[in-house]
Structure 1
Amino acid sequence: MHQGLDSTLLILQHRLKGLSGRSPIEVIKEYGKLPEVQCYPGQLNQVLMNLLANAIDALEESNQERSPKDIKANLNRIEIQTRLDDSQKYIVICIRDNGMGMSLEIQQHIFDHLFTTKEAGKGTGLGLAIDRPSDYRGYPERSVKL
């Protein structure tokens, strides 16, 4: 699980470093002790890539509303935490950013197939739709149960 997260971060490194006029994004990793997981790594990595790329997009978008002084005082940040849930049966991956957040209306649609908030040609809407299990129990907003 951690290897997949680290691989995804490596792929996105050019967007995190603040190159090409972008503000750098600090990544804070709090990886818990997890068992080895049997999964479909390609699909899981696609979900992680979409979540992290969307977090980067959200931070870049929120920077347009902020002054350089404010950005410097409150650096862009993505936090990634992994742990086992209380039952020790499920792995919980929390990805948070300190961007502007999502409206309740958008939150209600983030798992819908082909839903995107991006302009035509800039998003597919495939990210979270492949990830919502049939037993989704409404974890906290902006959190996704994988």
Structure 2
Amino acid sequence: MAGFTSVSWSGFGDVAAAFVRIGAGVDQAAKANMTEASAFLIKEAMANFEGAHKKGQPHVGGDKPNVVTGNLRRSIMADGMHHTSMGAYEATVGPTMKYGRRVELGLAPTGAYPYFGPAAAKTRTVMSAIATANWARYITP
């Protein structure tokens, strides 16, 4: 055919392979972010307990919850990680003891002794560093 030039394209396989490689890296980074952030949140929430007393005795010192039986502190955990889509993971972290909300928010008869909210706030402050390190580790050009 007159006026038409045959064009050959190459390199599309390399581009597709790069997208697959980077996609896998994004997914690995997201999983690492969730793993590290969940572990950090659990550690910080558990560390927010201070002092101890026997059951039925009054709170001792400070504005942090006391350890009475240790059940509430031990119950702070993640429900497991769920892969929701490429580069997206979720986990629910919190106490499993029913009275955990009562202690956190101060619903009668206890006073408010926040342990989880402060831990979540601290986790948000370190999240960008966690993500930056994981992106650098797993996302390679």
Say yes or no: TM over 0.5: no
TM-score by length of 2: 0.33
RCO (CA 8 Å, sep 6+): is it higher in 1 or 2?
2
Give the number of the structure whose alpha-carbon radius of gyration is greater: 2
Query: As a proportion of its length, which structure holds more strand?
Result: 1
